[in-house]
Amino acid sequence: MNDQQVLFTNDICEALEEITTKIQHDKLFVLFDLTTIRFCMPVITPFLNKYEESHSGQRIHQIVIETSDQAKNIDSLTEVWNALSSNGATRHSLLINIGGGMITDLGGFAAATFKRGIKFINVATTLLGAVDAAVGGKTGINLGNLKNEIGAFAPASAVLISTKFFETLNHDNLISGYAEMIKHGLLSDKQHLFDLLNYDIQHWDNETLLPLLEYSVNVKRKVVRQDPYEQGLRKALNLGHTFGHAFETWCMQTNKPILHGYAVAWGMVCELIMSQQQVGFPSDTLYEIANFVRDNYGPLQFNCGDYDAFIELMKHDKKNEGDEINFTLMSAIGVPTLNHSANKEQISIVLDIYRDLMGI
């Protein structure tokens, strides 16, 4: 899998014009959801108008699907396939995905599978999408309540990241993305983690956020470059996600949906607890992360009667081998350790300690 071209810019229209000029294509399609077409269309309208003028009035085909992660399903995927097919898309067409992780995941999978693959560009419009989903070549959809159960590795031809889009995000969505940045801080070095934990996330500033975001994205790109198909090192990027995906799915099943980054934040605390127990992760750093998560994300409310449900959901994790539940742990900041397993009793102890640290 080729390394993706990632552009950090606030000149979105100029960047889109440059990229679409370089990528040969016969027709251009743009995928939105109901939220991004409302808030992001004004930003890219100058590009769309100029494109149609310079291509002799050739129409850009807009595809709009429902908003929310619940719409990341086979019905929405079929909707995109049908829109491509009915508007004459060929193997040489180009799809631009404009949105958060749901759009880039689903749109990327639609592009990867339509006529066995067309080229696509991801324009990340959320902090979570920018730091996580838009980069790395993972695409996919949910299967029922199971997160990302169906998918493929397919890198975008280019990824555009701009803090300009973040101006429309509320605080909850911003800190949802920030959780993935904290994860990258744990995987990189003490200074970057320190900078992240001390950034004033109550008063977002796009200018000071951008260099932290660029560093964070490049942490992920470095890992993906070494292990594009998740055969080894890339599993480090799943830190917090074994517990996190179980939390996220459980909340969906119990009609209390949560943002992905919140689930990852809570999952990181759990997996750092397990790291401290199994591979000696420093207790002081564990407490620092737990305090940060408790203060900024609050606790996920559950009791010991919910443990079996979490463990059952963890059994569906894609990292698992056989019947063992697979975890990414950390022995120190910047030192991930892969392919650890835990039994029901060990997982239950972790959940007990999590509840103590979170004050529930």
Q: How confident is the model at residue 1, as a pLDDT?
A: 61
Domain annotation covers residue 331: yes
Residue 61 dihedral angles phi and psi, to the nearest 5°? -90, 120
Q: Is 144 exposed, middle or buried (0-12, 13-18, 19+ CB in 10 A)?
A: exposed
Q: What is the CATH number of the domain that holds 56?
A: 3.40.50.1970
- The answer to whether residue 121 is domain-embedded is yes
Residue 178 and residue 325 in one domain: yes
Last-in-domain residue among 146, 168, 190: 168
CA–CA distance, 216 with 113 (Å, rounded to integer):
29
Task: Give the global pTM.
Answer: 0.89
Kindly state whether residues 183 and 87 are assigned to the same domain. Answer: no
94 within a domain of the structure (yes/no)? yes
CB 312 within 8 A of CB 348: no
* 354 and 302 assigned to the same domain: yes
- Is 150 part of a structural domain of the chain? yes
Same domain, 147 and 193: no
Q: How many independent structural domains does the chain possess?
A: 2
DSSP letters for 196-245? HHTS-TTS--HHHHHHHHHHHHHHHHHHHHH-TT-SSGGGGGGTTHHHHH
Are residues 99 and 58 part of one domain? yes
Strand duo 326-332 + 335-341: pairing: antiparallel
Are both 100 and 187 inside the same structural domain?
no
If asked whether residues 146 and 283 sit together in one domain, one would say no
Whole-number Å distance between alpha carbons of 188 and 99: 27
- What averages of pLDDT result for each successive group of 10 residues across the chain (360 residues)? 81 95 96 95 95 90 92 96 98 97 96 97 95 89 88 95 90 96 97 97 89 94 90 92 95 92 98 98 98 97 96 86 87 96 95 96
* Helix (H) or strand (E) segment spanning residue 11: none
One domain for residues 88 and 191: no
Partners of 97 in the beta sheet? 31, 122
Residue 345 lies in a domain: yes
219 located within any domain: no
216, part of any domain = no
Give residue for tokens 């409302």: 38
Q: Are residues 199 and 252 in the same domain?
A: yes
Say if CB 174 and CB 204 are below 8 A apart.
yes
What CATH number corresponds to the domain at position 264? 1.20.1090.10
Q: Give which of 268, 360, 249 is closest to 311, Cα–Cα.
A: 249
Q: Using alpha carbons, list the distances in angstroms from residue 179 to 84, 282, 283, 326.
A: 35, 20, 20, 21
| Residue 227: C-alpha distances to residues 3, 64, 230 (Å) | 11, 33, 6
Residues 9, 148: one domain? Answer: yes
Same domain membership, residue 9 and residue 130:
yes
Asked whether residue 198 falls in the same domain as residue 157, the answer is: no
Q: Tell me, what amino acid is at 248?
A: E
**Does a structural domain hold residue 208?**
no
Domain containing 103: what range?
Answer: 5-168
Q: How far apart are CA 15 and CA 10, in angstroms?
A: 9
